[in-house]
Structure 1
Amino acid sequence: MNNMVYNKIICFFLLIFLCSASFISCNKKLDIASYEIAPEAKHWESISDTKGGLLGIYGLLRSAMVGNNAHWIYGEVRMGDFQSTARQDLKAVVENDLKKSFPLIEDLSNWKRFYAVINAANLFIERAPEVIKTDSRYTRDNLAIDVSQARLIRAFTYFYMVRIWGDVPLITASFDNSEGFPKFKKTNATEVLQFAQNELMEATEYLPFQYGIDNQQYYGELAKTWKNILFNKSTAYAIMANIAAWQGKYIDVDAYTKFILDNVVSANLQYNGNLNTSDIGIDKLTGITGVFSNAYEPSQLFSISGSYTNLEASNTGHFEQLVLAAPFINKTQPDLYVSRDSITSIFQDLYDERFGFIASSGLYNEAYFKNIASLYPVFCKINIIKDGKFAEFGSNLIFTRLEEIVLLRAEALAAMGRTGESVVMLNRIKNMRKATPYSISMEPGRPLMDEIFKERRKELLGEGWRFYDLQRFYKLKSNPERLNQIASGEFLWPIAPVVIKNNSEITQNEYWK
């Protein structure tokens, strides 16, 4: 199937849900059968319609997360370790000055693109059952798996929005975007998250660990086609673990993370390093064949594909766009950088492969940073690029991976007082990076929980976690000043004026009025 056909189908779904098609790249592996654009009533008659509808939801999710580099600006740039070299809009985000009138801030304040995902999922859940009546190839097993994916994506999208805006409208039925956004009031964030957890738990019953294995094709394709594209049972548990951690429900985090780690073989998951600290080094994480590349063979817990192999590479919607510069691309300085002082403060272990000294040469390890002696060190951990002249990037957005889950489990175990088990989890990651293991008896001045979050800061740098990790850490440490900031809504994102204008039931988040 050629790219023109795929574009036609994706554009159809984007037009239905008023989401800009400019953010969607082609994915040749998602080989959707051709059909002509027709009224909505005609689009739920065959198995090709369900395939197009399902993949359309994935496309909309990708658009929502990578458009304007949203995922990284929400979670990594805001009040994080990165600083802006010259861009004033990025500087405003770093400083949490979100009342500034910049197109970037206005765009990221608008939740419309996330409701496009939710509306597409709602529509699929409502209409996909009709196909069983008209196409014998579409079985009840197919329907159960497909609807479970739609429910998973909808649940994740609500969790994602709650972290950004707090209370948001909970909409569980499709609506016609041509008539404008329906007049829904905001729903309490706790209720929204409970809905998401319930949806995910029910979806896990039907979701497989892998699609298309044991010669059981899924939409005519085997496992290799769907790897790192479709969400599975482990994805659902990873999202549930993060929702539970966000709510401070660490008993649930313990259960969910244990399930993931007990089923790494079934899900074809692999650590991005070597647990035995042998000859496999940091390249499993940062290299051109590492976790951010489609050349990486094992499956990922939650990956949004943006690879060269799927013809999805572009010069936007990748963190490299903001952080790379010479010698990687034809750009004198990056838009964002981590200062030398911050780097040396974050990475204090001389043996750490992510950033430390190479014993044989006495030079800095450049797995994470290049040009460390310059005014603007270049963050190169995520660096999937073919041609620096044209700056076309091919990295996948990894929302969560096995190492994040291990550290989340360490956090939960520490919060529950199971310190010995927590240290084992923490040192699992340290050992992979050849960092000095942590010992409670040897480190009385370094509290275990502090050390876990320091490790998350190092391991997950540039992946969109920092701002949210800080909020969980402040709650665990019961920091009065920070707790007041959280309670006041200072850490929420303002709601775009256009959203409030179009929906009289919505009011601005209190802190940003």
Structure 2
Amino acid sequence: MKRYTIILCIFLLSSCSKWLDKEPVSMITDVNFWKNQTEADAGVAGAYALVRKALNDADGLTHFAYGDLPSDELLGSNIQDADLKAAATVDWALPVTAAATWRYMMKLRRYDNFYRIIDQANRCLKFIPTVPLSEYTSSSPETTRDAFLGEAYFLRAFAYFYMARIWGDVPLVLETQDNLIDAINIPRTPQKDILAQCQADIDMALKLLPWQTSNPQDRAIRVSRGAAFALMAHMYAWAGEYAKVIPAADSVIEKGGYSLVDRHNWLSIWEGKSSEGVFEIAQSRETEGIGDGIAFRTLKKPYLSTVSGNAVFTLNPTTLNTLYADTNDLRVKNGFAFMSTTDPICIKYSDITYALPEQTGPIAHYNIVVFRLADIMLLKAEALAATNAYGDARAILDQVRGAAGIDSWTGADTDLFEAIIDERGRELFMEGHRFFDLIRLARVKGILRFDNINGADFQRGKYYWPVDPVLMNLNSRLQQTSFWSDKL
């Protein structure tokens, strides 16, 4: 009954942080669970909670530490915390003792949390089909069951894709495990095979998921077919299979029912469940919103009353001047502050309330927006430019620019791919995309925008993270990421 209690806690309260830190309980206790629709739904909710845990580890910074810190958005050398500075400057072999499990670098080099997602998804895929349809209370039991299974396939694919971008080759586990160590005590599987499994899972998700969630309140925070197509588009872009990106992105754009948010109301996107959101991580004000997360590193007074000096993270002025040269850009006017000073800040995550008197006890309110419509539109434009369909690529690029109140792009076709990457930089600043976008730019065009990865090191795969030595000590079959094998 222990597993029943734990999963139901997640389902009802939307947060059960103590459980997220524990190893999965024995499969024997699954016998007492998975009896009806409520329990099947709770099992899926448990997987979403584990996604939230994985992306919010390292004091709410994991998603941004992988996708933003090593990019040109920040001045990494200005970061005071040694681990976050190392993350930003690609000094990923920074020594950390095995006992220092609280260290950011330890957390960022470990993939345990992603395997917790995978294990929960595997349990859903194993046990939800055993729940009798007669125990469902919805008006369409089979449709409801299929949606649950589609979510599980999506979340497993998402976890593997996320890890593939970070570590490259990772262990492939497709069955439930009694013990988390069993899940990681196998060799790394080549990235191409990981991505092939992602594709197989996405294909299954597409067969099972609806275009719209059954409850409108679940928009974007529970996945739909549009989210699965968005994941597919990103996966193909990462693999360099740009011809396949286009139809996947088209499905999101044309069939998902999404629309761009008015850029005069730009910040509403991060409040969550906007018309633009495709897949978001619902944040809990009681956990992720208190004291941790990207808001507390990127804001200062008057947006965050508890920071009277400069923001913790310093934005890169060169990048800001390059990306936002047009001061008419509504994304600048509504997404940044103090742009004419030496300490400009990004205010995407500036919905702050205070739990205590005199504006103390700040609470940040925002969702992590993983995929949104403008992201997928520009990903399609990137794919079109990569396949020499320059006119169609320009049309999408100019549509996004027009929504932001700036003129059409007038450069040469030879520069269009890079211009689209830059447009993604303007649009998706501090949303966990930039580092991966720059990797694709380097792969496709040979243009390196990294301060801490030179051409030779890029070719050797320096942009893939090492695994922490703690994991290697637990698993004798685990080999270190190639570039880092003689450094850690």
TM tier relative to shorter chain: 0.7 to 0.9
Letter in 1 for 2:49: G
Cα deviation for residue 316 of structure 1 reads 4.9
Using the TM superposition, give the Cα deviation of residue 483 of structure 1 relative to its aligned residue in structure 2, in angstroms.
Answer: 5.8
1:42 aligns with 2:32: yes
**Alignment match, 1:466:** 434
CA gap 1:339/1:245 in 2 versus in 1, 3 angstroms: closer
Q: How far is the alpha carbon of 1:87 from its aligned partner?
A: 2.5
The structural deviation recorded for 1:140 is 3.2
Q: Does 2:420 match 1:486?
A: no
Hey, what's the Cα distance between the residues in 1 that align with 2:16 and 2:337?
38
Which aligned pairs between 1:113-124 and structure 2 lie closer than 5 A?
Answer: 113-124=113-124
Per-residue displacement from partner, 1:387-442 (whole Å, max 9, x unpaired)? 35322111000011000111111111111111111100000110011112113xxx
What's the counterpart of residue 336 of structure 1?
313
Give the whole-Å Cα distance in 2 for the aligned partners of 1:479 and 1:344. Answer: 19
Contact 1:349 / 1:436 at 8 angstroms: preserved in 2? no
Superimposed CA distance per residue, residues 339-395 of structure 1 (whole angstroms, 9 cap, x where no aligned partner): 43432222112322223xxxxxxxxx3x23222344322221332212353221110
Match status 1:55 vs 2:45: yes
Instruction: Tell me if the contact between 2:115 and 2:183 (Cα under 8 Å) persists in the aligned partners.
Output: no
C-alpha separation in 1, matches of 2:176 and 2:22: 11
- What SS does the corresponding residue of 2:236 show, helix, strand or coil? helix
Matched ranges for 1:56-95 at <5 A: 56-68=46-58, 69-83=61-75, 84-95=78-89
Give the alignment of 1:232-251 within 5 angstroms. Answer: 232-251=224-243
Find out whether 1:346 has 2:323 as its counterpart. Answer: yes
Q: 2:20 aligns with which of 9, 14, 28?
A: 14
**Structure (1/2) with the larger helix percentage:** 2
Aligned to 1:420: 391
RMSD between aligned residues: 2.6
Counterpart amino acid of residue 475 in structure 1: R
How much does 1:124 deviate?
Answer: 1.1
Contact conserved, 1:89 with 1:104, CA < 8 A, in 2?
A: yes
- Contact 2:260–2:373 (CA<8 Å) still a contact in 1? yes
70-79 vs 88-97, which moves further: 88-97
Matched with 1:476 is: 444
User: Are residues 149 and 479 of structure 1, via their aligned partners in 2, closer, same or farther at CA, if it must alter by over 3 Å?
Assistant: same
Q: How does 1:278-289 map to 2 (within 5 A)?
A: 282-286=263-267
Match runs of 1:128-167 below 5 Å: 128-132=128-132, 135=135, 137=137, 139-167=141-169
Task: Check the 8 A contact 1:339/1:376 in 2, yes or no.
Answer: no
Counterpart in the other structure of 1:503: 475
CA distance change for structure 1 residues 413 and 129 in 2, over 3 Å: closer, same or farther? same
Query: Which amino acid letter does the alignment assign opposite residue 88 of structure 2?
Result: V
Q: In the alignment, what sits opposite 1:323?
A: 298
CA contact (8 A) 1:318 1:397 kept: no
Letter in 2 for 1:78: P
How many residue pairs get matched?
A: 454
Query: AA paired with 2:270?
Result: F
C-alpha contact 1:264 1:270 (8 A) present in aligned 2:
no
The residue matched to 2:429 in structure 1 has which SS? Answer: coil
Scaled by the length of structure 2, the TM-score of the pair is 0.86
Which moved further from structure 2: 92-101 or 312-321? 312-321
Aligned counterpart, 2:269? 291
Distance 2:34 2:327 in 1: 59
Change (3 A) 1:101 1:41: same
**Partner secondary structure for residue 60 of structure 1:** helix
Seen in structure 2, the aligned counterparts of structure 1 residues 46 and 205 have a Cα distance that, compared at 3 Å, is same
Q: Which amino acid aligns with 1:506?
A: L
Q: Per the alignment, in what secondary structure is the counterpart of residue 399 of structure 1?
A: strand
1:248-281 deviations in Å (ceiling 9; x for gaps): 111110111111111143xxx12022xxxxxxxx
Whole-angstrom CA distance in 1 between matches of 2:150 and 2:175 = 16
SS at match of 2:369: strand
Deviation at 1:137, TM superposition (A): 4.0
> Which residue number corresponds to residue 271 of structure 1?
260
SS at match of 2:270: coil
The residue identity in structure 2 corresponding to 1:371 is: F
Indicate how the Cα distance of structure 1 residues 239 and 406 shifts in structure 2: closer, same or farther if over 3 A, else same. Answer: same
DSSP 3-state at the match of 1:390: strand
Q: Return the TM-score normalized by structure 1.
A: 0.82
Listed as ranges, the matches of 1:357-368 within 5 Å are 365=333, 367-368=334-335
Per the alignment, residue 177 of structure 1 pairs with 179
Task: Give 1:464's aligned amino acid.
Answer: G
Counterpart residue type for residue 304 of structure 1: I
In structure 1, list runs of 5 or more residues that go unmatched.
Answer: 20-37, 213-222, 274-281, 356-364
Distance 1:203 1:181, change over 3 A: closer
User: Could you give the per-residue CA deviations for residues 262-316 of structure 1, whole angstroms, max 9, x where no partner exists?
Assistant: 1143xxx12022xxxxxxxx34322xxx11003x5436211111265xx666125
Partner secondary structure for residue 337 of structure 1: coil
Q: Which amino acid aligns with 2:12?
A: Y
Unaligned runs of 5+ in 2: 1-7, 97-102
Contact 1:228/1:299 (8 A) holds in 2:
no
- 1:444: Cα distance to partner? 3.9
